[in-house]
C-alpha cells in the first residue's frame, strides 16, 4: 500500500476523439460467396489494423442488425420510429472511436476504409472531452 | 500478426463445404437451402466481429458453432409459418462441432449433389456451390452464363433432391456401383471445364482443376469409393494438372506439348499420378479413364517430345477407340498413329474422319490435318486446313496459335 499519494500525472496533449458510426445501406449487394466474404473481412480488418498501428484506435463495438429506434418529442409523448438508417445486416453495423486532429483528418480515416465502397454510410461526431482543471 | 493477415484467403471457401457437409448430416439433404443460408450468416457474423475483436484462436471452430446457431435461428424463424421442426432443432442442439470435417460427410454430400436424377450441369454446379464453396457469380463465370441461369438450375437441382428424399450417406454395394459413375463423371467434367476454357482469354481455370483434383483424391481416400476408376480419374487429373504451368506462355498463348518446357512440369504431381495409376490397376475393370490416364502418363514420363513412346501411345489409343469410339478419341488416335508410323498413315486416318459432323466444326481436327500436310510438303492444302480451323470456335490462345501456323505456310 502506498503511503505517499502518487504525484498527479501531467495531462498529456492528446488528440480529440471522434466516433465513427457505421451504418449499413440497403443499396449495397450482399456478398455472394465465401471468397467475397473473405475479401470483405480482409478489407475491414485491414482498416482496423491500420487504425491500431497509427495509434488512433480507441475502441469499437458491433451493433445489432436491427435498424434501432429514434425518439422525438411529439405533443406530450415521445414518438418512436425505426431508424435513422435502414440497416442492412450484410454490412458491418458498428462504431469505432478514433483519435484524429480534426474533422478533416477523421473524414480521411473514414474514407480510407472499405465501408463507403460497400455502400455503407458513416456518421462522424467529435466527442466533447470534459477537462478537469 | 495483424487481423487481416491472420487467415488464409480460402479459409471461408474451405470451411463452407466442411460446415455444409456437417450440417447436412444433422439436418438432411433436403435442407441444403437453410444450410447454405446459415453458413453465409456465419461468415457475415465473422466479418462484423473479427475486425473489432480480433480473429478467434480457432476460426474454423468459431464458424462452425456460429453456423449451427444461425441454423437454429432460422429454424425458429421458419416456425412462424410452418410447424417447428423440433427434431432438427434437437439434433443441432446436441451436435458436437468437433465432429466437423469427416471425410464421410463430404463424400455423402458429393453423392447427394451428383445424384443421377440431376443432369450433368446441375451436378457440377451444385457440387461447386455446396461442396467447394463457390458463389453463384463465380460458377456463372466458369460456365460462361449468367448468375440468374445458375441460380435457376441450383433451385431446380435442390428441389429434385428434396423430392427424392435422399438419405445422407455413402451408398454401398450395388447402389454404390450405380451412383459412383455420376460422381466420377461430374469430377471429370469439372476438370475438363477448367482445363480448356472454351472462349475468352484464360486458357485454364486453375481453381476448377485444383478443385477437381481435390475431389478426386477425396474419392481415393475412402475405402468404399477408392475404386479402380476413381484412382484412374485421380491419376488422369494429376498428369494433366502437372503440365498446367507449362501450357501457357507469358501472354497466355497456347504452348503445344511438343514445345513445352518440361522442366516446368510439376514432378510431385506426376509422381502422385503414377501412384494413382498403379492403384487403379488393382481392380478387374478396364475403363476408358484407365486408358486416358495411361495415355497421359506416357506423355508425363517422356523426357522430351521426341522421346515419347509413340508406339505405346498408339496402342493405348487403339484400346480406347474400342471402348469409346467417339470422334475426339478417333482424332487423337490418328494423331498418335501419325507420330508412331509417320504423317502419311496418320493423314489417311484423319481423312477417313472428314465426314464426321462433330469434327468438321472442331478446330483441332483441321489443325492436326494442317500439321501433317505441312510435314508432307503440301503447304497450300495445309493453309486451307488452318483456315478451316480458324473458322471453328476456339479460345484466344488457340486462335493465336493457328494464325501463326497459317502464316508459316505462306
With contacts defined as CB-CB under 8 Å, which chain A residues touch B13?
33-35, 38
Q: How far is CA B227 from the centre of its chain?
A: 18
Cβ atoms < 10 Å from Cβ of B347: 22
pLDDT band at B328 (very low <50, low <70, confident <90, very high): confident
Q: What is the mean pLDDT of residues B358-379?
A: 90
Return the residue in A23, A29, A34, A91 with the most chain B beta carbons within 10 A, the one to mutate for interface testing.
A34
Q: What is the mean pLDDT of residues B392-407?
A: 86
Q: What is the mean pLDDT of residues B99-121?
A: 92
With contacts defined as CB-CB under 8 Å, which chain A residues touch B52?
48, 60-62, 94
SS3 assignment, position B251: coil
The pLDDT > 90 percentage for chain B reads 56
Q: Is B383 within 8 Å of B396 (Cβ atoms)? A: no
What's the pLDDT score for residue A81? 79
With contacts defined as CB-CB under 8 Å, which chain B residues touch A93?
48
- Please identify which residue in the block is written with the cell numbers 476408358: B288
What's the pLDDT score for residue A89? 54
Residue A48 is nearest to which of B39, B44, B52, comparing CB atoms? Answer: B52
What's the pLDDT score for residue B205? 62
The pLDDT > 70 percentage for chain B reads 95
Q: How many CA atoms lie within 13 A of B169 on its CB side?
A: 8
Closest-CA residue of B relative to A63 is B48
Is residue A47 scored above 60 in pLDDT? yes
pLDDT digits (tens, 9 = 90+) for B129-160: 999 998 898 888 777 788 999 999 999 999 99
What's the pLDDT score for residue B198? 43
Kind plus residue range of the DSSP H or E element containing B322: helix B310-323
Which one is predicted more confidently, B355 or B405?
B405
Burial B91-125 (b: 16+ CB within 10 A, else e): ebeebebeebbeeebbbbbbbbbbbeebeebbbbb
Q: Is B52 within 8 Å of A47 (Cβ atoms)? A: no
Closest-CA residue of A relative to B135 is A33
Is residue B316 scored above 80 in pLDDT? yes
* B50 with A47: Cβ contact below 8 A: no
What's the pLDDT score for residue B203? 39
Is residue B93 scored above 70 in pLDDT? yes
What's the pLDDT score for residue A131? 66
Is residue B192 scored above 70 in pLDDT? yes
Which of 40-99 (A) contact B at CB < 8 A?
Answer: 40-42, 44-49, 52-53, 60-62, 89-90, 92-94
Q: What is the mean pLDDT of residues B87-96?
A: 88
What's the pLDDT score for residue B204? 46
Q: What is the mean pLDDT of residues B295-308?
A: 92
pLDDT digits (tens, 9 = 90+) for B48-76: 889 888 899 999 999 999 999 999 999 99
pLDDT band at A7 (very low <50, low <70, confident <90, very high): low
- Return the C-alpha cell found at A80: 418512436
Q: What is the mean pLDDT of residues B29-42?
A: 94
pLDDT band at A124 (very low <50, low <70, confident <90, very high): very high
Task: Give the ipTM.
Answer: 0.79
What's the pLDDT score for residue B202? 42
* A34 with B13: Cβ contact below 8 A: yes
What's the pLDDT score for residue B94? 87
Is residue B9 scored above 90 in pLDDT? no
Chain length of chain B:
410
Q: Is B343 within 8 Å of B376 (Cβ atoms)? A: yes
With contacts defined as CB-CB under 8 Å, which chain A residues touch B10?
35, 38
- Return the C-alpha cell found at B10: 480460402
Q: Is B323 within 8 Å of B331 (Cβ atoms)? A: no
Is residue A8 scored above 70 in pLDDT? no
pLDDT band at B88 (very low <50, low <70, confident <90, very high): confident
Q: B150 to chain A, minimum CA–CA distance in Å?
A: 13
Return the residue in B52, B59, B146 with the most chain A beta carbons within 10 A, the one to mutate for interface testing.
B52
pLDDT digits (tens, 9 = 90+) for B205-257: 667 788 899 999 999 999 999 999 999 999 999 999 998 888 877 776 777 78
* A94 with B48: Cβ contact below 8 A: yes
Rounded to whole angstroms, how far apart are CA atoms B279 and B294?
12
* B47 with A47: Cβ contact below 8 A: no
User: What integer best gives the mean pLDDT of chain B?
Assistant: 89
With contacts defined as CB-CB under 8 Å, which chain A residues touch B133?
33-35
pLDDT band at A6 (very low <50, low <70, confident <90, very high): low
Is residue B41 scored above 60 in pLDDT? yes
Q: What is the mean pLDDT of residues A4-29?
A: 72
**To 5 degrees, how large is the angle CA A95–CA A100–CA A106?**
60
Q: A32 to chain B, minimum CA–CA distance in Å?
A: 5
With contacts defined as CB-CB under 8 Å, which chain A residues touch B12?
34-35, 37-38, 41
Amino acid at each position: 500500500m502506498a503511503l505517499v499519494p502518487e504525484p498527479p500525472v501531467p495531462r498529456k496533449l492528446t488528440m480529440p476523439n471522434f466516433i465513427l458510426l457505421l451504418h449499413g445501406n440497403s443499396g449495397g449487394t450482399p456478398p455472394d460467396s465465401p471468397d467475397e466474404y473473405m475479401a470483405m473481412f480482409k478489407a475491414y480488418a485491414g482498416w482496423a489494423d491500420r487504425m491500431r498501428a497509427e495509434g488512433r484506435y480507441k475502441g469499437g463495438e458491433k451493433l445489432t442488425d436491427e435498424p434501432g429506434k429514434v425518439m422525438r418529442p411529439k405533443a406530450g409523448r415521445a414518438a418512436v420510429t425505426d431508424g435513422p438508417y435502414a440497416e442492412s445486416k450484410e454490412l458491418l453495423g458498428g462504431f469505432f472511436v478514433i483519435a484524429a486532429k480534426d474533422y478533416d483528418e477523421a473524414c480521411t480515416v473514414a474514407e480510407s476504409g472499405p465501408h463507403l465502397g460497400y455502400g455503407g454510410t458513416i456518421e462522424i461526431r467529435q466527442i466533447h472531452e470534459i477537462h478537469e482543471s | 500478426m495483424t487481423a487481416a493477415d491472420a487467415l488464409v484467403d480460402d479459409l471461408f471457401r474451405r470451411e463452407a463445404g466442411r460446415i455444409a457437409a456437417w450440417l447436412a448430416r444433422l439436418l438432411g439433404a433436403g435442407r441444403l437451402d437453410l444450410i447454405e443460408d446459415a453458413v453465409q450468416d456465419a461468415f457475415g457474423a465473422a466479418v462484423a466481429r473479427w475486425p473489432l475483436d480480433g480473429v478467434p484462436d480457432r476460426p474454423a471452430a468459431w464458424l462452425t458453432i456460429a453456423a449451427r446457431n444461425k441454423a437454429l435461428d432460422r429454424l425458429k424463424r421458419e416456425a412462424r409459418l410452418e410447424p417447428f421442426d423440433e427434431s432438427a432443432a434437437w439434433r443441432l442442439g446436441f451436435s458436437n462441432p468437433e465432429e466437423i470435417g469427416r471425410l464421410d460427410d463430404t463424400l455423402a454430400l458429393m453423392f447427394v449433389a451428383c445424384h443421377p436424377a440431376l443432369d450433368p450441369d446441375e451436378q457440377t454446379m451444385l457440387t461447386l456451390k455446396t461442396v467447394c464453396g463457390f458463389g453463384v457469380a463465380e460458377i456463372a463465370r466458369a460456365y460462361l452464363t449468367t448468375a440468374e441461369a445458375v441460380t435457376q438450375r441450383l433451385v431446380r437441382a435442390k428441389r429434385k433432391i428434396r423430392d427424392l428424399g435422399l438419405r445422407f450417406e455413402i451408398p454401398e454395394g450395388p447402389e454404390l456401383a450405380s451412383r459412383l459413375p455420376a460422381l466420377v463423371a461430374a469430377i471429370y467434367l469439372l476438370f475438363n471445364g477448367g482445363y480448356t476454357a472454351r472462349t475468352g482469354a484464360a486458357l485454364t481455370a486453375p481453381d476448377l482443376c485444383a478443385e477437381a483434383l481435390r475431389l478426386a483424391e477425396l474419392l481415393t481416400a475412402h475405402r468404399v469409393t477408392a475404386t479402380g476408376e476413381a484412382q484412374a480419374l485421380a491419376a488422369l487429373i494429376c498428369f494433366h494438372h502437372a503440365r498446367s504451368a507449362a501450357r501457357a506462355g507469358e501472354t497466355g498463348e497456347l504452348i503445344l506439348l511438343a514445345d513445352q518446357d518440361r522442366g516446368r512440369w510439376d514432378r510431385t504431381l506426376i509422381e502422385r499420378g503414377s501412384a494413382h495409376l498403379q492403384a487403379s490397376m488393382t481392380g478387374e475393370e478396364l475403363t476408358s479413364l484407365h486408358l486416358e490416364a495411361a495415355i497421359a502418363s506416357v506423355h508425363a514420363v517422356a523426357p522430351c517430345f521426341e522421346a515419347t513412346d509413340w508406339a505405346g501411345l498408339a496402342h493405348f489409343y487403339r484400346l480406347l477407340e474400342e471402348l469409346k469410339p467417339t470422334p475426339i478419341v478417333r482424332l487423337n488416335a490418328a494423331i498418335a498413329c501419325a507420330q508412331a508410323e509417320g504423317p502419311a498413315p496418320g493423314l489417311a486416318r484423319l481423312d477417313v474422319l472428314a465426314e464426321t459432323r462433330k469434327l468438321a466444326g472442331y478446330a483441332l481436327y483441321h489443325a492436326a490435318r494442317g500439321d501433317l500436310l505441312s510435314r508432307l510438303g503440301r503447304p497450300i492444302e495445309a493453309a486451307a486446313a488452318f483456315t478451316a480451323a480458324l473458322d471453328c470456335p476456339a479460345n484466344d490462345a488457340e486462335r493465336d496459335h493457328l494464325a501463326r501456323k497459317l502464316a508459316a505456310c505462306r
